[in-house]
């Protein structure tokens, strides 16, 4: 009888314990692979938030801070950029296009972004994917609004819906601009970026709703209707930040230095890719810690397997002794237990992969809707295969511990009666 068939018969005799052990290993492997899959997808999502933009410019601040509020719409700017400075920098010979961004208002907890129609023409994400509309078109009026996919889905808005913006960026705005409602004219396709949770309006629209405001509050006794606001000069005085595309990548560092040394006001120009790496290095500590915890869970699962094998050694004394009496070499007993551990680990690895893909198939839509993170059902990556191989080898090493005890046990030990 071959060692493999002997091992399979041995596992069949302890089927319940074997399946429970393999299931424990499967859970731990599904966890470590799931953490790695989320880790890689989150990194890809971070890196694909903005592409095709050479520089992001804002008031003097840290690169990560500027990236967070201008691209991820997290936090607020330390200061604004004057419209005059924006126009001067946008007119530099090396600048191919520019897109201004004005933040500070919200709609039912979603950020409102004031910009220009050029945003839809030049903003890119992922592998330079352009923004697409599932309904409607870009805004072309002061009171037009374009919704991100998540805003439209969660609030149930459609083309033609009237919405009211709120002053402030919290879920509950400081005050509503009820006198100047906006009309939804476009809904963007899902991008997996913060654009999905944004409401885009004309810069002129941001100015229009604030013509009777000053220093963040409504001017007492002064009311300007939506129609009257159209007659005002709606050129913004300040903006939050702006995106730049250059005619040549060679000019990037020269333009960046020129902006950072801008004498009119203190500005910062950052390279999105570099700032994204800095941001990832900060949040990467948490995901590395999570990966370490999941690896410890795998070790606990393997320790459970060793415990189960060690526990059954006492019950299998006579089985091992009979094998020895029939002429089996101690190496066969050693190989039997190591192979059992290997098969249990292999079964756990297969179960872990099946469990992982089952959870991904069930939850990927929920994760995309709630967190904007796309989880692919692609084949395991090279790193995931390496993790599986490492777990399998660790299982064989773990199985060698009880196998060594069985190898060193004397033949008489299994044939003698214990009292």
SS3 176: strand
Q: How many CB atoms lie within 10 A of CB 134?
A: 11
Determine the Cα–Cα distance for residues 224 and 230; give it in Å rounded to an integer. Answer: 10
Residue 351: half-sphere exposure toward Cβ, Cα within 13 Å: 16
Check: CB of residue 178 under 8 Å from CB of residue 184.
no
What sections of 83-179 are H helices per DSSP?
Answer: 83-90, 118-122, 149-155
- The domains of the chain are located at 3-46+282-415, 55-270
Give CA–CA dist 293/276, Å, rounded: 25
**From the centroid of its chain, how far is CA 401?**
40
Q: What is the pLDDT of residue 322?
A: 61
SS (H, E, C) 358-392: HHHHHHHHHHHHHHCCCCCCCCCCHHHHHHHHHHH
Q: 3-state class of 168 per DSSP?
A: coil
* Alpha-carbon distances of 19 from 121, 297, 398, rounded to whole Å: 57, 18, 17
The pLDDT assigned to 415 comes to 47
Give me 313's structure tokens.
Answer: 């050694």
Which pLDDT score, from 0 to 100, does residue 32 have? 81
CB atoms within 10 A of CB 110: 22
Question: What is the pLDDT tens value at each position of the chain, 419 positions in all?
Answer: 566 676 677 667 677 777 887 888 888 888 888 877 877 777 777 777 788 899 999 999 889 889 988 988 888 888 899 999 999 999 999 999 999 999 988 998 899 999 999 999 999 887 778 899 999 999 999 999 999 998 998 899 999 999 999 887 655 545 778 888 999 999 999 888 889 899 999 999 999 998 877 666 667 667 788 888 898 889 999 999 999 999 988 899 999 999 999 988 999 999 988 888 887 777 667 767 777 777 777 777 777 777 766 666 555 555 665 665 555 566 666 777 778 788 888 888 898 889 888 888 887 777 666 665 666 677 787 878 888 888 888 888 877 777 676 656 544 454 454 54
Token representation of residue 277: 């790496």
219 phi, psi to nearest 5 deg: -70, 120
The closest alpha carbon to 347, from 313, 394, 392, belongs to 392
């Amino acid at each position: 009888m071959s060692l493999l068939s002997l091992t399979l018969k041995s596992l069949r005799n302890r089927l319940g314990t074997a399946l429970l052990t393999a299931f424990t290993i499967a859970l731990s492997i599904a966890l470590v692979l799931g953490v790695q899959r989320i880790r890689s997808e989150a990194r890809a999502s971070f890196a694909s938030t903005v592409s095709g933009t050479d520089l992001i410019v804002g008031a003097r601040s840290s690169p990560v801070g500027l990236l967070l509020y201008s691209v991820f719409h997290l936090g607020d700017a330390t200061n604004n950029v004057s419209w005059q400075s924006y126009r001067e920098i946008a007119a530099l010979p090396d600048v191919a296009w520019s897109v201004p961004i004005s933040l500070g208002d919200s709609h039912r907890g979603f950020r409102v972004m004031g910009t220009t129609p050029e945003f839809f023409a030049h903003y890119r994400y992922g592998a330079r994917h352009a923004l697409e509309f599932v309904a409607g078109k870009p805004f072309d009026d002061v009171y037009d609004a374009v919704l991100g996919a998540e805003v439209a889905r969660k609030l149930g808005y459609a083309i033609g819906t009237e919405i009211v913006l709120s002053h402030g960026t919290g879920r509950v705005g400081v005050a509503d601009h009820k006198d100047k409602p906006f009309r939804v004219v476009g809904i963007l396709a899902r991008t997996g970026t913060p654009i999905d949770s944004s409401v885009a309006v004309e810069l002129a629209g941001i100015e229009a709703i604030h013509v009777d405001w000053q220093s963040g509050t409504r001017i007492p006794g002064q009311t300007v209707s939506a129609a009257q606001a159209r007659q005002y000069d709606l050129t913004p005085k300040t903006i939050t930040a702006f995106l730049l595309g250059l005619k040549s990548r060679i000019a990037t560092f020269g333009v960046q230095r020129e902006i950072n040394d801008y004498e009119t006001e203190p500005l910062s120009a950052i390279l999105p890719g570099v700032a994204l790496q800095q941001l990832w290095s900060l949040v990467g500590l948490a995901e590395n810690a999570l990966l370490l915890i999941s690896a410890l869970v795998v070790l606990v699962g393997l320790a459970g397997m060793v415990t189960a094998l060690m526990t059954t050694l006492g019950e299998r004394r006579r089985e091992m002794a009979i094998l020895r009496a029939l002429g089996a070499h101690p190496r066969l007993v050693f190989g039997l237990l190591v192979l059992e551990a290997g098969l249990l680990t292999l079964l756990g690895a297969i179960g872990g992969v099946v469990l992982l893909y089952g959870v991904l198939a069930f939850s990927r839509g929920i994760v995309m809707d709630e967190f904007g993170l796309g989880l692919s059902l692609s084949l395991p990556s090279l790193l995931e295969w390496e993790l599986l191989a490492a777990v399998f080898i660790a299982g064989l090493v773990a199985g060698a511990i009880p196998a060594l005890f069985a190898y060193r046990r004397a033949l008489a030990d299994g044939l003698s009666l214990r009292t």
